[in-house]
Structure 1
């Protein structure tokens, strides 16, 4: 039985990746494509508080009682106290929110694996979510490595014969998939707890978590070089930082968010990336580049500074055995004069139309929004969409840093422009590795 009380026997810490070898593998997958391990970018909504208050994540409400195997009741909402009727293949589960409430049977479960695009080990703590889901329902998930952009291309290529059941990735990419006619409607249990601007009224797309662009750096190396902690994007132009500074490629959500963060910090917009290109020109001469599998390069000492999400740096600092906590730090930076410089990016999912295993997909989508599962994201410093109902880890940078730097881009604006922006950056940037 899965409860909506994250402190019960379904211990979220039980599923957090532990051990040096396992974590190294996870980090390697993170950039290999991640959902976005360097995945692509989700845009979106308001620039809300990053420490899980109600302004970011909607109304919290009290934590309601648990349902049976069909998942938990969603904090006393209209999904009720639903559960499962047991009996081998005849076992049934109540799923869905509101008009989407329905009963599914274990007979509907896949014989092999459930495929959800970009649900993969090494990114957003999906590995722990996958393990918990299989432990609860006996359904294994495919370790679907890749970025949001890559998976959107896959979904388009397989539109007539879908290979996956769920599109998962940057929220704006889910919206693109919907606009392409690739998705269908389903409102998972817990849908009412998601902020209105981070879900579509038609039930096609729902955000599940969010992250903010940050600078992760080797504090021990900075100390050896006599460098101060970075506070603005201008600081990264210093030759002793830029010599081994890395960004993730712009076709990933992670990389696009980083690019748009720099561009915004220097006065650019979706219709003007000149400030970003000028910034790249300034750091390229000292050795900065784009690369994937960055975490391994950081822990191995090949690079000392990487621009990714806060999640990536904090997870590396606190959940990776290769380095001591004191060797890694994470900074939320502004523009040179205090301008916004840290894009907040939502990620989410959408059920694919005419896809295999639609009933098991509903069960998984419900599972991801349960509080126990949302807490698993927090274990890796990914902010769950229901963060206001959970206790955030104390290790995040101070809220004042987020307040000073964070911004968001309207989803519709991002969806309308992101493919052109990515293409222009790839065409114009002097940094190697943009493709």
Structure 2
């Protein structure tokens, strides 16, 4: 795909994100397809045009919220499936709220990015980076932060935000991953929790909403988020940039699962098949997320993403094993100003 072809495809994808479902479209219920994250608005509009079916958008706020709802509704499932970070998907399988399906293209997904039984599989990924609104920072005479530790400096006090890790899969991945960026281990989450507590002490906010529009509008000066959300806002004209700190970045793996007892199995299977097909994967790529079908990402798109000098790999199974306790520890330590050592020892998150 050359640059002109990509720009045409990208413009089409962006314009589709503004299309509302037609009144005649059939509805297919899912948790949580956020309009402003990974350009689900464009994906939903494209699928409606292709199949006459409109996947629901914005029904639940975040991966963890979707899982909590599916647990409550287990006796009478209300959703056909969910889009979430794969650590939450693994937790969902363990909780018994998903059932297996292997969509067309499943066999081509790399090992480690899919459940062998088909309870979950990746459709994309995104590096978690620093996004900055240059207008907001410029008015304060500040440069764009280049490292995670820059966000702890007094000059950035009150300017930084991230989504709330107890609801957002991207934020929960960062909650887990920052520990390894700043020197922690699987046996000791002290370094990461110290960083998070210092971030909060410097006025860093944890917000229960999709935050990329807030960065684009200037309501937020600095945002920790998936790289694609910031770059897509930049392409749409917002004064924002994305930085991958040389200290290291982690990637959030994003994918799908079918709900156990899904009300509409056949239409859900067709939708899942489409998501791994060329049309959907190219829309994801044009939205500056990294499609699991790697050839669907044009070089012209990849070249606009911030280069990660150090990509810290994460153990998805271990992340899923500890993420619930890690979120509880985060709430006690960061939200309630608890003692780091005592809380981590109680949750067996330090040796």
- TM-score band (shorter)? 0.7 to 0.9
Matched, 1:345 2:252: yes
Counterpart for residue 232 of structure 2: 315
Q: 2:94 aligns with which of 171, 179, 186?
A: 179
Give the TM-score normalised by structure 1.
0.68
2: distance between equivalents of 1:328 and 1:224? 14
**In the superposition, relative to structure 1, how do residues 188 and 11 fare at CA in structure 2: closer, same or farther (>3 Å)?**
same
**In the superposition, relative to structure 1, how do residues 410 and 114 fare at CA in structure 2: closer, same or farther (>3 Å)?**
same
Deviation track 1:235-277 (CA, whole Å, cap 9, x = no partner) reads 2222122331112112121212222343222212344332233
Counterpart for residue 16 of structure 1: 14
Deviation of residue 376 (structure 1)? 0.6
Deviation of residue 314 (structure 1)? 0.9
Counterpart for residue 188 of structure 2: 272
1: distance between equivalents of 2:260 and 2:201? 47
Q: 2:243 aligns with which of 320, 331, 334?
A: 331
8 A contact 2:13–2:286 mirrored in 1:
no
- Greater Cα offset, 255-264 or 195-204: 255-264
8 A contact 1:233–1:334 mirrored in 2:
no
2: distance between equivalents of 1:14 and 1:228? 34
- Greater Cα offset, 423-432 or 307-316: 423-432
Deviation track 1:63-91 (CA, whole Å, cap 9, x = no partner) reads xxxxxxxxxxxxxxxxxxxxxxxxxxxxx
Deviation of residue 149 (structure 1)? 0.4
Counterpart for residue 34 of structure 2: 120
SS of the aligned residue for 1:414 comes to: helix
**In the superposition, relative to structure 1, how do residues 232 and 349 fare at CA in structure 2: closer, same or farther (>3 Å)?**
same
1: distance between equivalents of 2:61 and 2:200? 27
8 A contact 1:116–1:167 mirrored in 2:
yes
Matched, 1:188 2:103: yes
Kindly report which structure 2 residues correspond to 1:417-428, keeping only aligned pairs within 5 A, or say none.
Answer: 417-428=322-333
**In the superposition, relative to structure 1, how do residues 177 and 278 fare at CA in structure 2: closer, same or farther (>3 Å)?**
closer
Matched, 1:148 2:56: no
8 A contact 1:170–1:253 mirrored in 2:
yes
Larger helix proportion of the pair: 2
8 A contact 1:374–1:386 mirrored in 2:
yes
Matched, 1:133 2:52: no
Counterpart for residue 321 of structure 2: 416
8 A contact 1:120–1:142 mirrored in 2:
no
Q: 1:287 aligns with which of 203, 221, 224?
A: 203
Deviation of residue 17 (structure 1)? 3.7
- Greater Cα offset, 250-259 or 378-387: 250-259
Deviation of residue 426 (structure 1)? 1.1
Q: Structure 1 regions of 5+ residues with no counterpart?
A: 1-6, 26-110, 336-340
Deviation of residue 224 (structure 1)? 4.2
Q: Structure 2 regions of 5+ residues with no counterpart?
A: 338-351
Deviation of residue 358 (structure 1)? 0.3
Give the TM-score normalised by structure 2.
0.84
